[in-house]
Amino acid sequence: MRLFFGISLFLLSSCSNISNESELELKRGLFYNTSNGKPFSGKAYKLYNNGSKMREAQFDIGAIEGSYTYYDNEGSIIYPADEASLDFRDGKKYFANSDKEFWGLAFGTYQSGETSFEVLYENGKVVGDYVYFNRDGSIKSPIFSSLLIRRGDVLYQESSPEPYTGPVFDLWENGNKMLEGSYKNSVKDGRWMEWFDNGQPEKQYNYRYGLRHGYWAEWHNNGLLSIEGSYVDGKEDGTWTFWYPSGQKEKIIMQKEGWWNGRTQKWFLNGQMMEDINYKDQMPVGKWQYWFE
């Protein structure tokens, strides 16, 4: 299997003798110091959000020497892990057979053993986007979603016997982007975006293992927000807010595991309150309040 620095190279950016990755820039396959424009030589590192070191590597004239060394949040050296080997509980990934949240680089493989994707984890959760690879180790470019072939419930590339893993996109007839996202083993995974044909955003949503999971937003075609909320494992969870095309708030719904739980408020288009009701397991409880325009 190839060395695990694909995602590192893809995400990298710092320089000097010892530099933060944010100071590096990838150009023509080499990493340059953004302060002087020269190929970087020395050690570069990246930090977790809590300030502890995530990884480091040695560079010589712009090229990485060997591979990255990864660390957990306590400073101990860790090694890239097959994502399929990690335990999943309560919305987080854990080291196998452990109560310790996974930190560091996770990867997936093709059936033939080559790395198919890499992604970074912090506190057991994905940070950043998945990076997908071809079998030769090059970063996989997005393909038109219309080029995928459906056999039963599974999506394939025409020339591949394996379910499709990688990024996709589609365009409107005027050339503007219609959508972009990614699949993992034929199911939606990660962040997806959709746009109106005028280039305005229409939807932003997240999937995990084919289920809606994470932030969800939709916009009216005038550019104003229409819906905002979140999913957990395919079910609406938390506060969901809806707006009229004018920007006036339409309703706020509290949900838990797909059920209305908590306070629900609705407004007329003129901003006047329409109703105020508390719910438990989808059923109204307590005092109901209604207003007329």
* Helix intervals (H) in the chain: 6-11
Q: What is the pLDDT of residues 132-168, one digit of tens each?
A: 888 888 888 889 998 999 989 999 998 888 999 999 9
Q: What is the pLDDT of residues 61-100, one digit of tens each?
A: 888 887 788 888 788 888 889 988 998 877 788 988 889 8
Q: Dihedral sign for Cα 30, 33, 38, 40, please.
A: negative
Q: Is the pLDDT of residue 14 over 80?
A: no
| Average pLDDT over every residue of 39-58 | 84
Structure tokens at 246: 């004018």
Distances (CA, A) of 50 to 72, 118, 128, 247: 11, 22, 15, 37
> Cα–Cα distance between 264 and 241 in angstroms, integer?
10
Q: Is the pLDDT of residue 169 over 70?
A: yes
- What pLDDT, on a 0 to 100 scale, did the predictor assign at position 148? 93
Q: How confident is the model at residue 241 (pLDDT cuts 50, 70, 90)?
A: very high
Q: Is the pLDDT of residue 38 over 90?
A: no
State the Cα angle at 129 between 127 and 133, rounded to 5°. Answer: 130
| Mean pLDDT (the chain, rounded) | 86
Q: Is the pLDDT of residue 4 over 50?
A: no
CB 163 within 8 A of CB 185: yes
pTM, two decimal places: 0.66
- What pLDDT, on a 0 to 100 scale, did the predictor assign at position 13? 38
- What pLDDT, on a 0 to 100 scale, did the predictor assign at position 29? 67
> Cα–Cα distance between 204 and 227 in angstroms, integer?
10
Q: What is the pLDDT of residues 172-207, one digit of tens each?
A: 999 999 999 999 999 998 889 999 999 999 999 999
CATH 3.90.930.1 residue ranges for the chain: 143-290
CATH class of 143-290: alpha beta
